[in-house]
Amino acid sequence: MGLVFTSVGYSYAAISPNNSLSIEQALDKAYKTNPDLRKATLNVEKSEIIRNDAAEMVTWTPTGGMVLPDYQKVMNSYQQAEIAYQTAKKVERTAKDGITYNVVSDYCTALTNYNNMEIVRLKLEDAKRQLTMSSVARAVGTLAEFDYEKAKVGIEQMEEEYKRNKAQYEGSISRLRALLNESESWQPDLSSRPTLAQYKRNELGIEISRGLSESKDVWNAEAQLKIEESQQPWTIPGLSSQMKNLNLELAQMDYEKSKRDTRASIEELYYMLDTMEGQIAVAEKAYETAAKDMKIAELKYDLGLIAKSALSTAQVAEHNARINLENARVGLTRYKAQYAILTGQQVYSADDWSEVK
Give 139: exposed, middle or buried? Use CB within 10 Å, 0-12, 13-18, 19+.
Answer: exposed
Q: Give bridge partners of residue 20 from the DSSP assignment.
A: 189
CATH code of the domain occupying 21-355: 1.20.1600.10
- Higher per-residue confidence, 244 vs 67: 244
pLDDT greater than 70 at residue 98:
yes
- Share above pLDDT 70 across residues of the chain, in percent, rounded to a whole number: 91
User: Which helix (H) or strand (E) covers residue 6, if one does?
Assistant: strand 3-6
| pLDDT value, residue 11 | 40
Q: Give bridge partners of residue 11 from the DSSP assignment.
A: 4
Q: What is the rounded distance in angstroms from the CA atom of residue 135 to the CA atom of residue 53?
A: 84
Could you please report the per-residue DSSP string of 66-100? Answer: TTSHHHHHHHHHHHHHHHHHHHHHHHHHHHHHHHH
- Higher per-residue confidence, 285 vs 135: 285
pLDDT greater than 90 at residue 90:
no
CA distances in angstroms from 95 to 11, 37, 151, listed in the order given: 39, 6, 53
Pairing of strands 189-190, 20-21: parallel
Q: What is the rounded distance in angstroms from the CA atom of residue 96 to the CA atom of residue 58?
A: 35
DSSP class of residue 352? G
pLDDT greater than 90 at residue 182:
yes
| pLDDT value, residue 148 | 78
pLDDT greater than 90 at residue 318:
yes
Is residue 85 within 8 Å of residue 48, measured between CB atoms? yes
Phi, psi at 59, each rounded to 5°: -85, -5
Q: What is the rounded distance in angstroms from the CA atom of residue 173 to the CA atom of residue 160?
A: 20
Q: Which whole number is the average pLDDT over 304-317?
A: 89
Q: What is the rounded distance in angstroms from the CA atom of residue 336 to the CA atom of residue 342?
A: 10
Type of residue found at 114: Y
Q: What is the rounded distance in angstroms from the CA atom of residue 273 to the CA atom of residue 335?
A: 7
| pLDDT value, residue 67 | 58
Among the residues of the chain, which ranges form H helices?
23-33, 36-57, 69-139, 145-179, 204-214, 216-231, 241-302, 308-343
Phi, psi at 74, each rounded to 5°: -65, -45
Q: What is the rounded distance in angstroms from the CA atom of residue 104 to the CA atom of residue 176?
A: 10
Residue 93's pLDDT band (cuts 50, 70, 90) = confident
Interval 57-77: pLDDT, tens = 776 665 555 556 666 777 778
| pLDDT value, residue 238 | 77
Any idea where the domains of the chain sit in the sequence? 21-355
Interval 184-239: pLDDT, tens = 999 999 999 999 999 999 999 999 999 999 888 898 899 889 888 888 887 777 77
* pTM for the full predicted model: 0.79
Interval 2-33: pLDDT, tens = 433 333 333 444 445 568 999 999 999 999 88
